[in-house]
Structure 1
Amino acid sequence: MTTTNLADLYDLAPLDWARVTARLDAGFEQAPGGGGPDRHTCWLTTLNADGSPHVTGIGALWAEGSFWFETGLTTRKGRNLLRDPRCALSLATDVFDLSLGGTATLVTDPDVVAARAAEWSADGGWPCRVDESGTALTAEFSAPSAGSPPWHVFRIDARSAAAVETVEPGGATRWDF
């Protein structure tokens, strides 16, 4: 990993990636009224076939050192990622704004899919479960932008990240992995 201080112009120290991941490990509530000023929203950017960006809010999860999300394969983000896995994710927490770029991988390992379902059910309050295929999720509801079930699990493998600290002393840092 290489670290680039984006705030040395202001004599601020680089941010510590371990502090960023520790904050993510603590969780970030995405229900209205549960965090941020009102909540924490994750924004996923994928690439349309013409190269233009497609940005949408998602219910992401931080686990095992990566961001995870689910979507139907026929949604625009699902189709985009199956064609071109490059993506970006952004999140504002109470102490920093974070963006990362990487690739999204469709995850079909039944044990991993079951682990994410358990985490979304316990931590995120979304009562999902593994469907009969063992490789996707189902539930009575999901976000309208996720499309109809089954919902497939994706993991984002970060290639780079940047954070801007929003509390004193401040700072901005980029990491390349």
Structure 2
Amino acid sequence: MRIINLGEAEGLPPVDWDAVVRKLEGSAEPAPDGGNTRTTWLTTLNEDGSPHVTAVGALWHEGTFWFQTGATTRKGRNVARDPRCAVAVSIRDADVVVEGVAMRVTEPDALTSIARAWADQGWPAEPDASGAGVTAPFNAPTQGPPPWNVYRIELRSATVTLGTDPGGLTRFRF
């Protein structure tokens, strides 16, 4: 991993990636009096190259973000055509943006693992019997009918902005 301290000119120390990962793994919510929430935002690329940004139920699991979507949704069509994407989320004392490539997951063990992780967070997902993705008793109406495709983001970079004193702004290249 290459670490680029974007706050060095202001005398800020580099952000500790391992501390950020511990917060992502622990689902560290933003501060109760903070102005943000734990919404995870996914950006994909439309056919004309413009960004498409939408809130998703992405989950940090096994060292990266995972998300699911119907094949006919705009984000589903976008990542099928161009898998480059970004995820942004606020966690306790930090804002995190990761960039990478969305890789479709169909391996049974991986689908079982992520479905269990989503179920542990309150969304009762389970692998679809067809092996195509996951299913659940409910999802956002815009996702279309199950099974929903599952994607794992292969991380290329992350930018983390700390909201604590002394703060920090660091880019990580993986």
Which TM-score tier does this pair reach, normalised by the shorter chain? over 0.9
Deviation at 1:56, TM superposition (A): 0.4
SS of the residue corresponding to residue 3 of structure 1 reads: strand
Structure 1 contact 44–56 (Cα < 8 Å) conserved: yes
Q: Choose the corresponding residue for 1:94, options 50, 70, 92.
A: 92
Structure 2 contact 25–61 (Cα < 8 Å) conserved: yes
Structure 1 contact 28–35 (Cα < 8 Å) conserved: no
Deviation at 1:157, TM superposition (A): 0.8
* Pairing 1:2-151 to 2, within 5 Å after superposition: 2-28=2-28, 37=35, 39-122=37-120, 124-151=121-148
SS of the residue corresponding to residue 44 of structure 2 reads: strand
Specify the alignment match of 1:152 in structure 2.
Answer: 149
Query: 2: CA distance between counterparts of 1:121 and 1:112?
Result: 14
SS of the residue corresponding to residue 112 of structure 1 reads: helix
Deviation at 1:136, TM superposition (A): 1.2
Deviations 1:40-67 (A, max 9, x none): 0110000011111100000111111010
**Identity over aligned pairs, percent:** 49
Deviation at 1:148, TM superposition (A): 2.3
Query: 1: CA distance between counterparts of 2:161 and 2:72?
Result: 34
Deviations 1:7-56 (A, max 9, x none): 112211111111111111112469xxx99656301100000111111000
Q: Count matched residues.
A: 173
Distance 1:130 1:35, change over 3 A: farther
* Pairing 1:161-176 to 2, within 5 Å after superposition: 161-176=158-173
Query: 2: CA distance between counterparts of 1:159 and 1:21?
Result: 15
Of 131-140 and 80-89, the range deviating more from structure 2: 131-140
Q: What amino acid does structure 2 have at the position aligned with 1:6?
A: L
Query: 1: CA distance between counterparts of 2:153 and 2:67?
Result: 8
Distance 1:49 1:75, change over 3 A: same
Distance 1:138 1:26, change over 3 A: same
For structure 1, list consecutive stretches of 5 or more residues without a partner in the other structure. none
Q: What amino acid does structure 2 have at the position aligned with 1:42?
A: T
TM-score by length of 2: 0.93
Distance 1:125 1:28, change over 3 A: farther
Distance 1:173 1:76, change over 3 A: same
SS of the residue corresponding to residue 115 of structure 1 reads: helix
Q: Which runs of 4+ in 1 moved over 6 A?
A: none
